[in-house]
């Protein structure tokens, strides 16, 4: 497998996460060239000081590459283009992708003397901008060693080597469907609290210091839901996709997690009402509209938690 001390890196996908990762790499001394099909995304990334190209083909053979893409199908079409010329050392795929795709891409890269690791990340755009993401890594030991300089730059060492190719995707999908479930359950619980005349923010803070607490109750609801800002930078469409994909991946190996499947269904219902571009925290508007400043979206069915206050 190739090794290199060159710090040339391509970042493919310059959206909220990819653009922030590209800026972080640039600020830590990497020679970054970015690509995105969106001219607006390319222009925004250029403003952070990175070089831009209008074609993925221009990036073939770059020693390192980071992918931040919307779907596994885009990963499948992008990796062969990067490997079209010799010189690739490691491709780090931060996409929340599918395990089968990652296994195929790892085999393709290895056949050409390169490394491919699935390293979907958590930590949002703030983590991407500060190099403090966490990553779920699926890779062989050799591929991990090749990709480690990039992983360290993006996470500061906050990554877990889960297992072989594809395993990072599996655990990231499970992480996301658990977060999806928690967003629903915390919303429903705060809806009940408000029906009792209790301030949802007070209830969330109290729960967050106890056994029922989580990042959702401690940060997501206070910062993005109860405030009404809904500006996490992660879309409802992507979370609905991830929840559905987690259940689908489970079904492929004969597992049928009933609670997670029910949660995935609720996200599909919210998607139908709010649309894919809504912030993912807007799920609260469908499961607990009384605790959100914007209330229920137009056309949403009446929430079972929109109860009359208990006196």
- 277, HSE (Cβ side, Cα atoms, 13 Å): 0
Strand segments (E) across 215-256: none
Identify whether 172 is a catalytic site residue: yes
Taking alpha carbons only, the member of 135, 2, 113, 130 closest to residue 66 is: 135
197 conformational bin, left if phi > 0, alpha if psi -120 to 50, beta if neither: left
192: which 2 tokens?
Answer: 């009940």
Q: What is the DSSP string of 108-167?
A: HHHHTT-EEEE--EESHHHHHHHT--EEEEE--HHHHHHHHHHHHHHHTT-EEEEESTTH
277: which 2 tokens?
Answer: 């571009």
Sign of the four-CA dihedral 186, 192, 196, 200? positive
CB 224 within 8 A of CB 265: no
Which residue in the list 103, 172, 194, 215 is annotated as catalytic? 172
- The set of catalytic residues is 172
């Amino acid at each position: 497998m190739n090794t290199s001390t060159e710090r040339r890196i391509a970042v493919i996908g310059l959206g909220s996460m990819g653009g922030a990762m590209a800026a972080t790499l640039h600020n830590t001394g990497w020679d970054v060239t970015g690509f995105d099909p969106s001219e607006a995304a390319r222009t925004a990334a250029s403003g952070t000081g990175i070089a831009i190209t209008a074609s993925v083909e221009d990036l073939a053979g770059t020693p390192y590459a980071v992918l931040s893409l919307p779907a596994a199908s885009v990963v499948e079409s992008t990796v062969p283009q990067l490997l079209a010329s010799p010189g690739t050392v490691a491709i780090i795929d931060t996409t929340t992708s599918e395990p089968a795709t990652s296994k195929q891409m790892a085999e393709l890269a290895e056949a050409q003397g390169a490394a491919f690791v699935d390293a979907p990340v958590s930590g949002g755009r703030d983590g991407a901008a500060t190099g403090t993401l966490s990553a779920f890594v699926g890779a062989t030991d050799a591929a991990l060693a090749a990709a480690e300089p990039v992983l360290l730059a993006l996470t500061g060492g906050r990554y877990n080597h889960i297992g072989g190719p594809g395993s990072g995707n599996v655990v990231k999908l499970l992480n996301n469907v658990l977060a999806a479930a928690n967003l629903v359950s915390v919303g429903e619980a705060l809806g009940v609290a408000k029906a009792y005349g209790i301030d949802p923010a007070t209830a969330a803070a109290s729960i967050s210091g106890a056994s029922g607490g989580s990042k959702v109750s401690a940060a997501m609801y206070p910062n993005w839901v109860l405030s009404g800002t809904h500006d996490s930078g992660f879309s409802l469409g992507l979370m609905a996709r991830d929840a559905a994909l987690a259940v689908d991946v489970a079904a492929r190996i004969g597992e049928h997690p009933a609670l997670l499947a029910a949660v995935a269904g609720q996200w599909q219902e919210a998607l139908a009402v709010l649309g894919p571009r809504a912030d993912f925290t807007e799920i609260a508007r469908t499961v607990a509209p009384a605790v959100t400043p914007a209330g229920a979206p137009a056309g949403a069915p009446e929430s079972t938690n929109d109860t009359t206050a208990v006196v």
